[in-house]
Structure 1
Amino acid sequence: MKTALAPYVRILGRGANLSRSMTLEEAQEAMEIVLRGEAAPEAIGAMLMLMRMKGETAEEIAGFVRAARTVAPAVGFAALDWPSYAAGRTRGLPWFLLSAKLVASAGHPVLMHGWNSHQNPVASVRDALPKIGIPTLQSRNFGELDGNIGYLPLEVFSPELFDLLRLRDVFNLRSCVNTVLRVLNPASARASVQGVFHPPYRELQQDAGRILGQEAMTVLKGGGGEFERHPAKEAALFGLRGGEAWEGKAPALVDEHVRLAEGAETADPAALAGLWAGEYEDPFALSIVLGTAEIAFQTLGADVNVGDLWAARDRNITPL
């Protein structure tokens, strides 16, 4: 009988007066037990739901991330980490993919990674990737990124974390695994950009990143929970600069009141490739792309005029 996780469940579940959060070290030990397959499924469920009830801490998130990096390290280099784990049911086309592509075109290797962003039947991230020439990586030992960009599926990088994330289908509840994956940064890139749907998670991810020694990070409440700036709204930014907590604001770029999901039911994913190739015009979509890329460049510490970079881009796309 697998009982290795029992001491950690006990820490969380001893009652109102005796229970407490796990320390950084305890959280790492607990998640390593889970990822090595040494924990009973009942204990895993109990741990995750007890954490949901009390609210996870930055130390617990950081400990789980350390465990994931230890048990399933990625091999390869990226300058910018770009997680994509939002379900996407409240957004339109994933214009942020073109933002990531633009950053990569400037010579900054971008590693995207994700899972449930494929669930939107109209604006699927995974369906869009080959249309705009972003390769899907087949191994966590990815080495150099072709074209300075690649998408690493969670089920390829860590089947164990993938199974934990899919427990949402069992619980019908979100768990802290969603936050862990956003902070994970599997290639240990110096800079990371992260989206959230619920604003309180901005500070949680910021604090976890600081504990993990993340050098630069920007977190925003983005379209459908992705790292994607709404150009018609002022964006509150949280993160790290030089490893220390940082906050900022990005002013609205356009004077329009448009929902990102507006018209999503009739959206054509081919518009992504069309906008990049210059064959499709959508000023609001372009402002999403450039505004999102601008914050990504700021996170990297790169002084780039995104308008000039867009104008000079290589418009050719080789579908994959």
Structure 2
Amino acid sequence: MSDEQASLPETKPGEHPFAPYVRILGRGKRGSRSLNRVEARHAMGMILAGEVEDVQLGAFLMLMRVKEESPEELAGFVDAVRAQANAPEGLTVDIDWSSYAGKRRHAPWFFFSLLLLAEAGLRVFVHGAEGHTPERIYLTTVMEAFGFPVAHDWETAARQLDETNLSYMHLRDVAPRLAEMIELRPILGLRSPVHSLSRLINPLSAPVVMQGIFHPPYAGLHQGAGELLGYERVAVIRGEGGEIERNPDNVMKVFRARRDVDGFVTEEDSWSALFPQRHVKPEKIDVTDMARVWRGDLSDEYGEAAVISTAALALYEAGRAESQDAALARAEALWNERDRQKFDSALAVRG
């Protein structure tokens, strides 16, 4: 028996092998505790392998939700997911970008930010899921409208990255069981640790991991898990709608964990609001209007600022600008120099 196996919780005679993990979380205020990283990795490994009953999975996820996950638990969960993702060796990217929230109040302007980053020479890998929260528009909807195909396997992702510096893979093609768990939200009625876990998987070990969250208290959780996982740099923002998209009407706080010569540094940074007052949100999200903004046929002060400032954040975190002002200037230049006819053929077919 290995030292790791010896450290796992004991199973009582006649009970299911996963029962100890439900028991650890469900013993009440005084008896329950968080899982350590080894336990979390083993528990998630059993879940991913289909070795857990549905009732156990539901109980586990909701007990974890009530307790609230710890950085150690998230790191262990990520260990298990990365072990089965089968990402190819040698496929490198500069930025890991997660897209799991969807947009409700504003259009997914960050799609244009991704295009600007790719144009700047940064290889960006995006992973996400869709449809688990009603009445939201997800990144894949916009990508489809603009004729940008989703990759369904690593071979296609590698080709897209080589050709365009940008690729999106759905979580179901990276970690199928995890995708099924995200889709339990309408059934359980609550988010589960899977929503935080998915954002942290970084399957291609990018040196920069961008994180968009909706609830600021989760920032420290993502910082701590990123540090435990040894990621070189994790940047977490309260993104518009929970996506990695800057709301230019607000001050943006960046919660960062980064590797330094003396170990890991956890810090906070702030970007000033770009407007003195808030913009009125649009009555509806219209992909056609997004296309008109890209072509320059329509002006959208909020949307263009969101595109530029989101790209600026990523440029700064990736070390492509020495200051916030330099990052904003570089992002604005990329926006002004964009190929405005890039999607004309795809949008003509859609129209």
Q: TM-score range by the shorter chain?
A: over 0.9
Q: Secondary structure of the equivalent of 1:189? A: coil
Is 1:108 matched with 2:126? no
> Which range is displaced more, 162-171 or 206-215?
162-171
CA drift at 1:110: 0.8
- Structure 1 residue 147, shift from structure 2 partner: 0.7
Residue 40 of structure 2 aligns with which residue? 27
Asked if 2 retains the 8 angstrom alpha-carbon contact of 1:81 and 1:110, the reply is: yes
Deviation track 1:133-180 (CA, whole Å, cap 9, x = no partner) reads 533111144324131111111122221001111121221111110000
Structure 2 gap segments, 5+ residues each: 1-13, 322-326
- AA aligned opposite 2:127: H
Find the aligned partners of 2:179 and 2:133 in 1 and give their Cα distance. Answer: 15
Query: Which residue type is aligned with residue 103 of structure 1?
Result: L
Moved over 6 A (4+): none
Q: Structure 2: which amino acid aligns with 1:291? A: S
- 8 Å CA contact 2:125, 2:167 repeated in 1: yes
| Displacement after TM superposition at 1:121 (Å) | 5.3
Post-superposition shift, 1:119? 5.6
Cα distance, 1:44–1:119 mapped onto 2, change above 3 Å: closer
Match of 2:237 among 213, 220, 230: 220
User: Higher mean Cα deviation, 185-194 or 114-123?
Assistant: 114-123
Letter of the 1:61 counterpart: L
* 1:316 maps onto 2:330 in alignment: no
User: C-alpha deviations, 1:252-293, integer Å up to 9, x for none?
Assistant: 11223125xx1142x320222322222322122111100111
Where relative contact order (Cα < 8 A, 6+ residues apart) is larger, the structure is 1
Q: 2:278 corresponds to which letter in structure 1?
A: H
Between 111-120 and 268-277, the greater mean CA deviation after superposition: 111-120
Corresponding residue to 2:84 among 54, 71, 85: 71
Contact 1:72–1:157 (8 Å) recurs in 2: yes
In structure 2, the partner of 1:86 is 101
Q: Which amino acid aligns with 2:336?
A: A
Residues of 2 paired with 1:26 and 1:152: CA distance? 29
CA displacement, residues 169-224 of structure 1 (integer Å, 9 cap, x when unaligned): 22111111000011111221110111111111111111111111111121111111
Corresponding residue for 1:263? 282
Q: Distance in 2 between matches of 1:148 and 1:240?
A: 25
Answer yes or no: is 1:17 the counterpart of 2:34.
no
Which amino acid counterpart does residue 75 of structure 2 have in structure 1? A
Is residue 2:314 matched to residue 1:296?
A: yes
Residues 122 and 20 of structure 1, relative CA distance in 2, 3 Å threshold: closer
Partner SS state of residue 334, structure 2: helix
Alpha-carbon displacement from aligned partner over 1:42-80 (angstroms, at most 9, x marks no partner): 111111111111111011011101100001232333211
What secondary structure sits across from 2:28 in the alignment? coil
Distance, in Å, in 2 between the alignment partners of 1:132 and 1:297 is 24
Amino acid paired to 1:194: Q
Please tell me whether residue 253 in structure 1 is matched to residue 274 in structure 2. Answer: yes
Contact (CA 8 Å) 1:4, 1:33: kept in 2 or not?
Answer: no
CA distance in 2, matches of 1:9, 1:199: 28
**What does 1:116-195 correspond to in 2, within 5 Å?**
116=130, 123-141=137-155, 142-144=157-159, 145=161, 146-195=163-212
Q: How many residues align?
A: 316
TM-score, normalised to structure 2, is 0.84
Q: Tell me, yes or no, if the aligned pair for 1:85 and 1:117 is still in contact at 8 Å.
A: no
Aligned partners of 1:147 and 1:271: how far apart in 2? 24
Q: Equivalent residue of 1:205, what SS?
A: helix
Q: 1:276 aligns with which of 289, 294, 313?
A: 294
Structure 1: segments with no counterpart, 5+ residues: none
TM-score scaled by length of structure 1? 0.92
CA–CA separation in structure 1 for the residues paired with 2:43 and 2:283: 41
- Which whole-Å CA distance do the structure 2 matches of 1:44 and 1:120 have between them? 23
Q: CA deviation at 1:99?
A: 0.7
In 1, distance between residues paired with 2:61 and 2:137?
A: 30
CA 1:56–1:131 in structure 2 vs 1: closer, same or farther (change >3 Å)? same
* Larger displacement relative to structure 2 (238-247 or 226-235): 238-247
Indicate yes or no: 2:18 matched with 1:5. yes
- Report the aligned-residue RMSD: 2.0
**Cα 1:13/1:277, change in 2 over 3 Å:** same
Secondary structure, in 3 states, of the residue corresponding to 1:174? Answer: coil
- Give the percent of matched residue pairs that are identical in Structure 1 and Structure 2: 38
2:309 aligned partner, one-letter code: G
Moved more, 186-195 or 22-31: 186-195
